[in-house]
Chains A and B, each alone.
Chain A
């Protein structure tokens, strides 16, 4: 997605030269949010989730089903897993994340799933049949969305997670507790403050053993415990890769010595950048809007720089890159919508509605609003969006 959005932005800002996009998935870019929702609830193909292709990017050279295995920034080359070496004037890192997996003694079993790619979702869909017993490890957004979808399909669902309540970070205790109550009302069982010590089964998973010693029978085991950035292929170039790719405000990669690589950029959830709306602390942001927002910035800066247009470059850099973080989630008939960085808050208060119904919470750091999140009441949540807009 980040790659596609950069290509589109480069064209929009006037770059007409060649663009090569290397991606390890076999498909053209597609939209991931439906994978934990509609794709699991219905039969969905790549066509149904593919991003539309625009005329301006028809000549992009898509090298699909091919992984970048190494980069040499000194020579300006990328090598892919077929051994082909690609030379570049500028490189954009958009390699995203991969799901974390647990390491357990009896881990090599069928019936283990994650939800990241279309193939993951289709494979999981085939096993979410009515009456199937599902254990989900992890109670973040993906874990909760999959739990809701699996309940809708008539599966028996148990969620195992280390936290006190589901999505307690970043939602906070009150909202997270209410979310758990609503899941429980829909028939989901929780084993919070727990982890999975081992899997049970021969060839196929038949259960899990928790750290408490309790054993849960299951037909399907789903891991939804977060993700790691795909940056190993960049090793050996002295880039700061301790948590994704550290970048400056123009998404240009930064070396461990603090110097900037002018022609290497990172976009999407692999990029770690500071957002001046909040502070100077660089963060990776795993929100759906980040690939699009960061790609626009890169497209504008890079198109001006490749054209040698100093005026356009100065104009592009004049306005700081300050994307408004936003996320949303659908679980049963609950629609969550949020703006800002809720996780920064030291104080959370109910600002509208009632927690048992539709409600909006405000998230504050040292008295200043850093986030807003609602169940329903979208217009109210939207009215706070301007709080996270950088003042002109």
Chain B
């Protein structure tokens, strides 16, 4: 089973806190902008939820 991830890029300020919680999903590119993988295996759920919690802008959500 896969889960879909959505980041509201109008809210995201590219602080990159999510990168430390779910490094396989989120990363900062060479311009320090956030990039992410929009689909992940369900085994990543706990990491993604932790990333949601630490996002200062609360820009990340799981689309069920």
Contact = CB atoms under 8 A, between A and B. Distances in A.
Interface of A: 5, 8, 31, 33-34, 49, 51-52, 54, 288-289, 292, 326, 328, 330, 335, 337, 376-379, 382, 385
Interface in B1-42: 13-17, 19-20, 28, 30, 32
Contact of A292 (B14, B19, B32, B53): B53
16 contacts: A5-B53, A33-B56, A33-B57, A34-B57, A54-B49, A292-B53, A292-B54, A328-B13, A328-B56, A378-B15, A378-B16, A378-B28, A378-B32, A382-B16, A382-B19, A382-B28
Nearest to B58: A31
Interface of B: 13-17, 19-20, 28, 30, 32, 49, 52-54, 56-58, 61
Contact of B13 (A289, A326, A330, A379): A330
Contacts of B14: 335, 378
B52 A52 contact: yes
B54 to A, nearest CB: 6
Contacts of B57: 31, 33-34
A18 B32 CA distance: 43
Contacts of A326: 17
B39 to A, nearest CB: 20
Nearest to A4: B53
Contacts of A289: 17, 54
A50 to B, nearest CB: 9
A26 to B, nearest CB: 20
Given A326-B17, A328-B15, A379 B54 contact: no
A31 B54 CA distance: 11
Contacts of A382: 16, 19, 28
Contact of A51 (B28, B32, B56, B58): B58
A382 to B, nearest CB: 6
A60 B57 CA distance: 24
A2 to B, nearest CB: 12
